[in-house]
Structure 1
Amino acid sequence: MKSLILRIDRASTALAMAVACFMLVVASSLGMFQIVTRFVLEQPAEWSEILIRVSLIWMVFMGIPMAFRQGAMVSVDVLYRWSPPKARRVLDWLVCLAALALIGVIVWWGWDYAKRGGVQTMAGLESVSMFWAYLALPVGGLFSVVGIVANLIDPQRNELETAQ
């Protein structure tokens, strides 16, 4: 079971990170496009601004699973360093449960916002629903659940090991 969860985690975290990287490329490319159209051609493309915003939101929420997997999201370094080994495992469980509770709220309300935002349109892109922007919250949250559970099973404390 442990190896299955870790395999699923590797695949889902890699997919989430690929989407996050792609969204960074989209945002930076659109930013350059916007600079050229606004200041060189003096014909601003108003649709590019909202797409930059949406792609940055997707980038953040799809990058969060990797942060959880690396053990870098909910940081309790001092408490972890001062705790004896048995207390560290309890601390791992507490952090996991707190993170799952937070992600549960994000998924719940994010899906609610996405459903409600389905009737709104994006400024500058009147044919595109805000559903797609709000959908980043529950999708990123569901990917994060896998990373949180995988980090509990196989802890990786990369930020703790590199801290001075």
Structure 2
Amino acid sequence: MSIKKILLNLDLYLGCCILIVLVIVAVATVISRYIISSPFMWSEEVQVLCFTWISFLGAGVAFRHGAHVSIEMLVDLIPFKIRRYIELVIALFVSVLLCYVGYLSIVYVNQSILLEKTTTILKIPDYLYCLSVPVGCLFMIVSNTVIAVTKFLTQTEATAE
């Protein structure tokens, strides 16, 4: 497997690894609760951390595969030559919005670091939860930009229909 392929799918690989951890912790928790009758008190904190990261890493993967919900009815009615530019403007708008969300989340991460807030049982720093948002936004911006530019440069009127 090439380095390029690994880097292009880094969010997918990280998300899969975190999902494996989530499943292992969930199964271990069920076993400890119902078979040993002694539940792991820390498992909820780990599961929430894993789920948060999976959600934002998965959003980047969804961008890359065009799996986010979109309404293209109006755009499809526009002639091809104009539609290409409108799709490019939409992609630019989405990237700007993601940059803004990423910026706000970085501000929140910095506040979490300054407050030194941690979870109750495992003392996991709160910023590890918050950090998933700017990282996810970064993956979404990269995926959105690559797809928009590639689509703009390679799409012809025959492939658009």
Matched, 1:125 2:125: no
TM-score, normalising length from structure 2? 0.81
Distance in 2 separating the partners of 1:13 and 1:141: 15
Aligned residues: 148
Query: In structure 2, what residue type is equivalent to 1:78?
Result: M
SS of equivalent residue, structure 1 residue 95 = helix
Matched, 1:146 2:142: yes
Distance in 1 separating the partners of 2:27 and 2:109: 29
Which one of 59, 71, 93 corresponds to residue 76 of structure 1?
71
1:75 deviation in Å?
A: 1.4
Shift in alpha-carbon separation, 1:39–1:47, aligned structure 2, 3 A: same
Q: Which moved more, 1:140-149 or 1:93-102?
A: 93-102
CA contact (8 A) 1:71 1:155 kept: no
1:12-69 deviations in whole A, cap 9, x for unaligned? 4311110111111111221111111122212111211111111111111112122212
Shift in alpha-carbon separation, 1:97–1:64, aligned structure 2, 3 A: same
| Runs (5+) with no aligned partner, structure 1 | 1-6, 157-164
Q: Which moved more, 1:55-64 or 1:76-85?
A: 76-85
| Runs (5+) with no aligned partner, structure 2 | 153-161
Q: Which moved more, 1:12-21 or 1:81-90?
A: 81-90
Shift in alpha-carbon separation, 1:132–1:106, aligned structure 2, 3 A: same
Give the equivalent residue in structure 1 for 2:50: 55
Give the equivalent residue in structure 1 for 2:101: 106
1:105 deviation in Å?
A: 2.2
Which one of 111, 135, 155 corresponds to residue 151 of structure 2?
155
Say which one has the larger Rg. 2
SS of equivalent residue, structure 1 residue 51 = helix
Distance in 2 separating the partners of 1:107 and 1:101: 10
Give the equivalent residue in structure 1 for 2:133: 137
TM-score, normalising length from structure 1? 0.80
